[in-house]
Amino acid sequence: MTEKNHFHSSGERAWCPGCGDFGILSSVENALMNLGKRPHEVLIVSGIGQAAKLPHYINTNGFDGLHGRALPAAFGAKAANHRLQVLVTSGDGDIYGEGGNHFIHAIRRNIDITLIVHNNQIYGLTKGQASPTSDLGMVTKTQPNGVSTIPFNSLAIAITLDAVFVARSFSREMEFTTQLIEEGVRTPGFSLIEILQPCVSFNTVNTYKWYSERVYKLDSPYDPADKLQAYKKSGEWGEKIPIGVLYKKPRRTFLDNQFKPKDLPLFQRKTVMKEIISLTNELFE
Amino acid sequence: MRYSEITIRFCGIAGDGVVSSGKIFAGACAKIGLHVMVNDIYSAEIRGLGKSSSTIRFSTSKLNSMGDGIDLLVGMAAKESIVDLHDIKQEGSVMYDTSTPGSVVEEDSLVAHITPEIHGYGIPIKQLANEASGTNQGKNLVAIGAICYFYSLPPDMFIEQIKAIFARKGERIVETNITAFRLGYDYFKEHYPLNNQFEISKGLKPKTLISGNEAIAQGAIDCGLKFFAGYPITPATKIMEIAAKELPKLEGWTLQMEDEIAAISAVLGAWFAGKRAMTATAGPGLSLMSEMINMSVMAEIPAIIVNVQRGGPSTGLPTKVEQGDLNIALYGGSGDSPRVVMAPCDSEECYNGIQLAFDIAEKYQTPVIFLSDLFLGQRIETVAIEPNIDRERCTRKRPTPEQLKNYLRYQITDDGVSPLIVPGESGAIYSITGLEHSVTGNPNYESDVHSMMTAKRFRKFESMVADLPQADIIGDEKAVIGLAGWGSTIGSILEGMEIARKRGVTSKLIKSIMIHPQREDLFQEFFASCKKIIVPEMNYQGQYADLLKSRYGIRPIEVHIPSVNPVSPLKIAQKIMEANDELSQ
């Protein structure tokens, strides 16, 4: 890269060498740069986990919040200032486990946020327990007899709920990931980009090799506008794993329903003079 | 009989129009210019089984509480009203329906339970309602008509009120209801010519009726609330309903989130991005919000959490009052987690107090838990609130141009408050975290950093004292019996003190909307001047008494009332008398 990326931060990173998170971080930096954003215009919100450390490793505003609660906090920030470019970066345990309820309703609400889920199919921060996306049979210290709960299919759920942009990538495919993030950010509404990311310390099954042998890019004639096709693709896992845009369908966003884009952000609007409501008659409504 | 104050209770089941009776009556009294307080009690079920009652107290002078006992019971449903006969004061009365004589077994009949000390007045309520409307609808208006005559209240005001309320429903409904009202009035006049007289002085001005929940919503909107995120819960939902209706008119939003955790998270997100935001909940919701309130403490993001207390732990008693959430408000967080706790005692304090809460939260970058309760939140009362509009003064501390050059989000300052910019402003960027952090906002787990930052977060509470309102001392300053209370119990305490005073024992009360932090100097001084200290509150543990004991080293007489009803002023008076007896021994 010739041009200096002003999103790149030089600080220390508390990730294991070889962690897939490094690739995702670079892809986020490059996507924001390619989109022509400036650091103060961007807010990255996260929850808790290895992936959730990302806001501290990039030159933007950051809200490193509570486990599972990144999405509603991001929603509040976006609602108060819709001119902020809001991205959420967090892991599979954070978004699909602890924050599963918020994941579902964030899609329904369709505010303009880009959700990047680092999916390593394991809990890294707490040193290797099964996550909602762990494959059946994976043995861990807390699942000594192997995982017996079926994996959470986040893409299928997002498609079912008509998320406007549903994509999957693999952290090693940095260029490709960058493009998907750019497209997700450009798409008005709630975009989901799930990035398969090996955990080099605790997931001995889903390794770089394992993913590399399986992922393939969706190409024409695959049509992401075809919901049934997309739904079918979301169920493809095992021998072959599709990456790319699985589903894309424009829909009115939360902000479309609230005000026109030229409107002043909520945080800059002034209080309007108003009389105390006499409630005598309103009591009966 | 001549009266200057009356308490009436409508009692019935779903469909009897009990709650609307209370509101129509209260509305008419407010129009006349009287002081009114209305308390509704109903079960958690929407229809069917539940009994409901609406108690209206009205007076020519200011009311602090619902008082003790009732002057008139209106038994809209016979069986359900029997138990309320016990609440009738000496020389009190009951009105009952005579439309269907002999249709109920004696043990369910209200008439059969009326004791000789109670004056009973039979009225064919259902029959007259049918005469007016052809259905049972309008039973409550028949009763209201009868009461209007019974106490010589001006019928014009009631008719005006009926017109105002039912206008939306069309002329026919208005006419029917006025007919029902007149039939009740005339029937009573014909059968029970009385000379009861409620004293109404001349020159009264109509008063505003408001509930605590409404006052909180209105106060918040008037001081710049633009974003409300909530989740429905009894008895706090009304606040969200008002926000949902009013905020869009002011270019703001109200969002019903997927749960309480999402609600408080969105509130933090909105404050972080620079806008005054709020949520409102009750005990179970506050429990869910605890972790995010801690995040608010740690990351120094303001938040306003209104908690309208209901009864019991867990789901508890959704439609009954209790003051049991003080401990979770004060201590409901992991680690050393300071937060502001405020408790308004009436609707006026709900309005003004919530505005103070916003100012404190913004200036000191802290969560404020605003503890109302079901009785205060739902009761309707006449108030003299001075509209305080256009109060969008920003209390945020801004960085100097010098500070902005090398911006430190958590810069150490004398008062503990760091200069704050809103993310999105050019000039600086920063990240916040619920992890312990250094002055930059980056995670840091070193011992001296943790000590320094904890001290900073607590130092804000010392600085805050300068901005806190004075504690109010009410009553006889020279008295040696002192009371301390909080929230809606204050009203009953004031009335109890007045009863005791009339019996020759004076006392004084210290109260403050601020539970934490508090003007400790004033409380110390007050307690030092008392020989006996009484702390009444509506919970089993004595949560406020515990706080006062540990904070001021006092040994008060604790009055614990785990309650489903507002506190009885007589009970307070009795405690004052007992304390006086002990002193004179």
Nearest beta carbon to residue A271 from set B161, B224, B428: B224
Q: 3-state class of A243 per DSSP?
A: strand
CB B199 within 8 A of CB B369: no
B-chain residues within 8 Å CB-CB of A266? 226-227, 251-253, 270, 275
Calpha distance B121→B147 (Å, rounded): 11
Q: Is residue A15 assigned to a domain?
A: no
Across the interface, whether the CB atoms of A274 and B222 are under 8 A apart is answered yes
Chain A contact for B241, CB < 8 A? no
Record the tokens describing residue B323, joined without a space: 């003051």
| B 425-454 residues with CB < 8 A to A | 425-435, 441-443
Which residues 237-276 of chain A have a CB within 8 Å of chain B?
258-259, 263, 266-267, 269-276
pLDDT band at A276 (very low <50, low <70, confident <90, very high): very low
Q: Does A275 score more than 70 pLDDT?
A: no
Give yes or no for residue A149 having a pLDDT over 60: yes
Work out the number of other CB atoms within 10 angstroms of the CB of residue A256: 14
Minimal Cα–Cα distance from A264 to chain B, Å? 10
Partners of residue A280 in chain B, C-beta under 8 Å: 27, 30-31, 161, 164, 208-209
pLDDT band at B391 (very low <50, low <70, confident <90, very high): low
* DSSP character string of A125-151: TTTSEE-TTPPTT---SS-TT---SPP
- Tokens 């770089």 -> residue: A208
Return the closest-CA partner of residue A100 out of A62, A56, A69: A69
- Complete DSSP assignment for B84-115: GGGGEEEEEEEEEE-SSTT-S-GGG-SGGG--
Q: Would you state the pLDDT for residue A260?
A: 55
Q: Is A171 inside any structural domain? A: yes
Residues B491-519, mean pLDDT to the nearest whole number = 98
- C-beta separation of A182 from A166 below 8 A: no
CATH class of domain segment(s) B472-584: alpha beta
- Tell me what the mean pLDDT of segment A162-182 comes to: 98
**Does the pLDDT at position B49 exceed 80?**
no
pLDDT for A257: 81
Record: contact B273-A273, CB cut-off 8 A: no
Residue B114 CA, chain-centre distance (Å), reads: 34
Q: What is the CATH number of domain B2-206?
A: 3.40.920.10
**Consecutive H or E run containing B510:** strand B508-511
Residues 6+ apart with CB under 8 A from B514: B340, B341, B342, B468, B469, B471
Q: Which residues of A touch B409 (CB under 8 A)?
A: none
pLDDT score, position B1: 82
The pLDDT value given to residue A195? 98
CATH at A59: 3.40.50.970
Residues of B in contact with A95 (CB under 8 A): none
pLDDT value of residue A273: 46
> Which of A11, A55, A73 has the CB atom closest to B269's CB atom?
A73
CA distance A254 to chain B (A): 11
A1 assigned to some structural domain: no
pLDDT for residue A285: 40
The C-alpha atoms of residue B564 and residue B362 are separated, in whole angstroms, by 35
Residue of B nearest to A284 (CA): B165
**pLDDT surpasses 80 at B142:** yes
Sorting pLDDT into bands at 50, 70 and 90, what band is B444?
Answer: very high
Backbone angles phi, psi at B431, to 5 degrees: -120, 145
A212-233: per-residue pLDDT in tens?
A: 999 999 998 999 999 999 999 9
Whether residues B432 and A64 touch (CB distance < 8 A) is answered with: yes
Residue B70 gets the label, from left (phi > 0), alpha (psi -120 to 50) or beta, of: beta
* Residues from chain A contacting residue B246 (CB–CB below 8 Å): 277
In the numeric block, which tokens belong to residue B238?
């009304």
Q: What is the average pLDDT across B187-210?
A: 89
Rounded average pLDDT over B329-336: 97
Asked if residue A151 has a cis previous peptide bond (ω within 30° of 0), the answer is: no
- pLDDT tier at B251, thresholds 50, 70, 90: confident
Q: What pLDDT score was predicted for residue B390?
A: 56
Burial B316-352 (b: 16+ CB within 10 A, else e): ebbbbbbbbbbebbbebbeeebbbbbbbbbbbbbbbb
- Give the confidence band of A284 by pLDDT, cuts at 50, 70, 90: very low
Contact check, Cβ <8 Å, B258/A102: yes
Query: ∠ CA(B59), CA(B64), CA(B65), 5° rounding?
Result: 90
Across the range B211-226, mean pLDDT stands at: 92
B217 part of contact set with chain A, CB < 8 Å: no
Percent of chain B with pLDDT over 90: 82
Q: Do B434 and A65 touch (CB under 8 A)?
A: yes
Which residue of B431, B437, B442, B444 is the best one to mutate when testing the A interface, meaning the one whose CB has the most A CBs within 10 A? B431
Q: Where is pLDDT greater, at B540 or A262?
A: B540
Tell me the two tokens of residue A229: 């096709």
The gap from C-alpha A181 to its chain's centroid, in whole angstroms, comes to: 10
Residue A11 forms part of a structural domain: no
- Distance, CA of B245 to CA of B243 (rounded, Å): 5
* pLDDT of A109 strictly over 80: yes
3-class secondary structure per residue, B366-411: CEEEEEEEHHHHHCEEEECCCCCCCCCCCCCCCCCHHHHHCCCCCC
Give residue-wise pLDDT tens across range A33-54: 999 999 999 999 999 999 999 9
Are the beta carbons of B229 and B255 closer than 8 angstroms? Answer: yes
Q: Could you tell me if residue A264 is inside a domain? A: yes
Question: Which chain A residues touch B161 with a CB distance below 8 Å?
Answer: 280
Q: How confident is the model at residue B565, as a pLDDT?
A: 85
A166–chain B nearest CA distance, Å:
22
**CA separation, residue B569 to residues A218, B64, B490 (Å):** 75, 10, 10
Alpha-carbon distance of A250 to A261, in angstroms, equals 17
Q: Cα–Cα distance between A105 and A110 in angstroms, integer?
A: 8
Is residue A4 in a domain? no
Question: Which residue from B38, B32, B60, B19 is spatially nearest to B375, judged by alpha carbons?
Answer: B38
Q: At B481, which helix (H) or strand (E)?
A: strand B481-484
Contact criterion met (CB < 8 Å) for A84 and B273: yes
Distance, CA of B280 to CA of B288 (rounded, Å): 12
Domain residues of chain B, as ranges?
A: 2-206, 210-383, 401-466, 472-584
Distance from CA of B266 to the nearest CA of A (A): 4
The percent of residues above 90 in pLDDT, for chain A, comes to 86
Q: What is the pLDDT of residue B57?
A: 97
CA nearest A106 in B: which residue? Answer: B258
Mean pLDDT calculated for residue range B517-535: 98
Answer yes or no: are the C-beta atoms of B206 and B30 closer than 8 Å.
Answer: yes
- pLDDT computed for residue A279 by the predictor: 44
B31 Cα distance to chain centroid: 22
Could you tell me if B536 and B566 are in contact, meaning their C-beta atoms sit under 8 angstroms apart? Answer: no
Return all residues near A172 (Cβ < 8 A) that are at least 6 apart.
A20, A23, A208, A211, A212
Question: What is the C-alpha separation between B309 and A130, in angstroms, rounded?
Answer: 39
- Kindly state whether residue A110 falls inside one of the protein's structural domains: yes
Average pLDDT, chain A: 92
The pLDDT assigned to B196 comes to: 85
pLDDT mean over B56-66: 96
Q: Is residue B194 scored above 60 in pLDDT? A: yes
B508 contacts B475 by C-beta, under 8 angstroms: yes
Residue A30 CA from chain centroid, whole number: 16
Whole-angstrom distance, CA of residue B476 vs CA of residue B465: 26
Give the integer Cα–Cα distance in Å for B524 and B547. Answer: 13
Q: How far apart are the first and last CA of chain B?
A: 40
Residue A207's domain spans which residues?
20-284
Question: What is the rounded distance in angstroms from the CA atom of residue A198 to the CA atom of residue B580?
Answer: 76
Question: H/E element holding B156?
Answer: helix B155-166
CA-based nearest distance B18→chain A, Å: 13
pLDDT at B104 over 80: no
Number of structural domains chain A divides into:
1
Q: Which residue is it, tokens 């009311």?
A: B63
Inspect the interface and report whether the beta carbons of A56 and B211 lie closer than 8 Å: no
Average pLDDT over chain B reads: 94
B266 to A64: CB separation less than 8 angstroms, yes or no: no
Q: Over the stretch B446-480, which tens digit does the pLDDT of each residue have?
A: 999 999 999 999 999 999 999 999 999 999 999 99
Region B90-95: mean pLDDT is 94
Identify the closest residue of chain A to B423 by CA–CA distance. A61
Q: Over 70: is that where the pLDDT of B426 sits?
A: yes
ipTM attached to this prediction: 0.94
- Contact residues, chain B, for A39 at CB < 8 Å: 429
> Residue B14's pLDDT is what?
79
Instruction: Report, at the CATH architecture level, how domain B210-383 is classified.
Output: 3-Layer(aba) Sandwich (3.40)
- Mean pLDDT, to the nearest integer, of A113-127? 97
**pLDDT at site B370:** 98
